[in-house]
Amino acid sequence: MDMTPKRAADSATEMVQVVLPNDANPLGYILGGTVMHLIDIAGAIACHRHTRSLLVTAAVDDLQFLHPIKVGDLIILKACVTCVFTTSLEVQVDVFSEETLTGKRQRTSSAFLTFAAIDRGGGRLHIPPLLVETEDEKKVCAEAQARRAARLQKEAALTAMRRS
Ligand SMILES: CC(C)(COP(=O)(O)OP(=O)(O)OC[C@H]1O[C@@H](n2cnc3c(N)ncnc32)[C@H](O)[C@@H]1OP(=O)(O)O)[C@@H](O)C(=O)NCCC(=O)NCCS
């Protein structure tokens, strides 16, 4: 793998699509599962752009749906790598609705996903570093490190519980 460090801006990804009736529940709002699918895709694209490797989704943190997005409106997903660990990395995906007729935009969800880089045999791959330069980028990465520690602690506790 090319281990040249990259900026978050190099892999930042924006996806836009119109909500069609096939994506919606009987109220005419996009299905939560469809939003989750799009979050996974947008996050994966940003991470693929950073690693240029095969990836699997290792974890998706808590997810909330703050506002419905209705048929005919746009769903916009912005994905940005927050921090690179050793063989995994975290990406933030923010979801917005945009009313097609007025342009009114609202954030409807924010999610943090972790992807692990693997080779074709399932082995782990080291990931190129993320260039963390500005104070804001340092803060974002420190927060990601804290989330990672909490995530792995939770996973270890769940594993111990399953064994007992
Ligand atoms: C994710 C997966 C690769 C982790 O494998 P593992 O043997 O449990 O753990 P490893 O020690 O090899 O960890 C690999 C990396 O994943 C991270 N990781 C493992 N479990 C994790 C979790 N629950 N949350 C966040 N990161 C996790 C590890 O910290 C490590 O990253 P690091 O090297 O940067 O520290 C493995 O559980 C898996 O393949 N899961 C299925 C993935 C999948 O099918 N996703 C949906 C379709 S893509």
Q: What atom of ligand 1 comes closest to residue 86's alpha carbon? A: 34
Query: What is the residue with the minimal CA distance to atom 39 of ligand 1?
Result: 56
Ligand 1 binding pocket mutation candidate from 41, 48, 83, 114 (most atoms within 8 A of CB): 114
Predicted pLDDT at 164? 87
Predicted pLDDT at 1? 83
Tokens read off for 102: 């007025």
Contacts of 44 (CB under 8 A, 6+ apart): 55, 57, 115
Predicted pLDDT at 55? 98
Q: Ligand 1 centroid vs 58 CA: distance in angstroms?
A: 5
pTM score: 0.97
Helix (H, G, I), strand (E, B) or coil at 125: coil
- Residue ranges around ligand 1 (CB below 6 Å): 56-59, 85-88, 114, 116, 124, 151-152, 155
Q: What is the DSSP string of 75-122?
A: EEEEEEEEEE-SSEEEEEEEEEEE-TTT--EEEEEEEEEEEEEE-TTS
- pLDDT tens-digit profile, the chain (164 residues): 899 999 999 999 999 999 999 999 999 999 999 999 999 999 999 999 999 999 999 999 999 999 999 999 999 999 999 999 999 999 999 999 999 999 999 999 999 999 999 999 999 999 999 999 999 999 999 999 999 999 999 999 999 999 98
Query: What is the residue with the minimal CA distance to atom 3 of ligand 1?
Result: 116
Ligand 1 binding pocket mutation candidate from 1, 37, 45, 56 (most atoms within 8 A of CB): 56
Predicted pLDDT at 135? 98
